Amino acid sequence: MKQNKVALIAFSLGLLASCENRSDNESEKLKQVLVGYFDGVKHNDHKKMTDAITDDFLLYHEGHAWNNDSVYMNIERNSPFTVDFLFDNIRTTVDTESGHITYDEHANFVFSDTIKANLNFLGSAAFRKSKDGWKMYFMQATTKYVRKKKRP
């Protein structure tokens, strides 16, 4: 009887560790999709952007609703530019069919080699699993403001 309990505990711990590794692996896949989308933005690559999203993709940004085509047209309108995206404070939640990421995004733009803009956003993205793998179907971004402490 004692041997059965030990075996059951060992099996349960092994199963738990296996699920945790799978979840970490799936979280990494979500991050790759997110970064892939932003890489498409960076390189003005509509196909790369489209490969990362569902057909019904929606972006809420600063009070505006965008789809992938309107995002891409905005990129075209503002070209040429260079941009580097950095992400931190990434938190993921994932199950078998859906996932969610929250993150801080830092975007450093340079337009026409003279105009520089360093922007900070709070972001969130939602994903669903399809036959082609993970796809992003919703993204939200809003400007991150840092409050200055009042002096006593």
Per-residue pLDDT 10s for the chain (152 aa) are 555 544 444 444 444 444 444 568 999 999 999 999 999 999 999 999 999 999 999 999 999 999 999 999 999 998 899 999 999 999 999 999 999 999 999 999 999 888 899 999 999 999 999 999 999 999 999 999 877 777 66
Location of structure tokens 């892939």: 36
Residue 148 lies in a domain: no
Residue 152 lies in a domain: no
Location of structure tokens 């938190």: 91
Residue 103 lies in a domain: yes
Burial 136-146 (b: 16+ CB within 10 A, else e): bbbbebeeeee
What is the span of the domain harbouring residue 60? 2-143
Residue 121 CA to residue 139 CA, distance in Å, equals 12
* Count: domains in the chain: 1
Q: What is the pTM of this model?
A: 0.80
Residue 72 lies in a domain: yes
CATH of the domain at 63: 3.10.450.50
List the one residue out of 83, 99, 46, 84 whose CA is nearest residue 68: 46
